[in-house]
Amino acid sequence: MVNIGITKTKQLQETSIKYVSAKGQANFIMMLIDKEILNEDELAIFRRGRNAKSASMAKNADVTTYRIATGFEAVWGYLYMEKYHERLNQLWTMFIDFVEE
Entry pTM: 0.81
Beta-carbon-side half-sphere exposure of residue 6 (alpha carbons within 13 Å): 10
Whether residue 1 contacts residue 16, with contact meaning beta carbons closer than 8 Å, is answered with yes
CA 86 to chain centre: 16
Q: Angle, to 10 degrees, between the axis of helix 85-100 and the axis of helix 9-20?
A: 120
Tens digits of residue pLDDT in 24-45: 899 999 999 999 999 999 999 9
Helices (H) and strands (E) in the chain, counts: 5, 0
For position 2, what pLDDT does the model report? Answer: 64
pLDDT at 99 > cutoff 70 = yes
Tens digits of residue pLDDT in 38-91: 999 999 999 999 998 877 777 778 889 999 999 999 999 999 999 999 999 999
